[in-house]
């Protein structure tokens, strides 16, 4: 079912949920980028960490595609599909932030 705007008292709630999750992920990703850039500048990232940083992009993308496709074929509305697709990115960036905060 596509958007059911006419019959819902709070039709903007799913969209606001997605927007909040996206903004949280974007701010977290910015912090991760800053901290990793500082580590690169100091020369404190080894080859295993560099490979891990590269590979996590592909695995997160694959997980995102998997959950989005599952949400789509199960008939969820477009905002719920977008929320499902964003969730692996939010989880990964939050985990990276927690790991990197000990670097200071």
Give 48-93 pLDDT, tens digit per residue.
Answer: 988 999 999 999 999 999 999 999 999 999 999 999 999 999 999 9
Q: Full-prediction pTM beyond 0.85? A: no
> Rg of the Cα trace of the chain?
17
């Amino acid at each position: 079912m596509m958007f059911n705007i006419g019959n819902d008292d709070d039709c903007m709630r799913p969209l606001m949920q997605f927007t909040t999750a996206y903004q949280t992920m974007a701010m977290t990703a910015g912090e991760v980028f800053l901290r990793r850039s500082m580590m690169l500048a100091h020369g404190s990232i080894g080859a295993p960490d560099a490979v891990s940083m590269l590979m996590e992009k592909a695995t997160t993308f694959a997980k995102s595609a998997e959950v989005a496709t599952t949400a789509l074929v199960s008939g969820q509305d477009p905002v719920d599909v977008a929320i499902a697709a964003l969730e692996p990115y939010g989880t990964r960036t939050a985990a990276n932030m927690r790991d990197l905060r000990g670097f200071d």
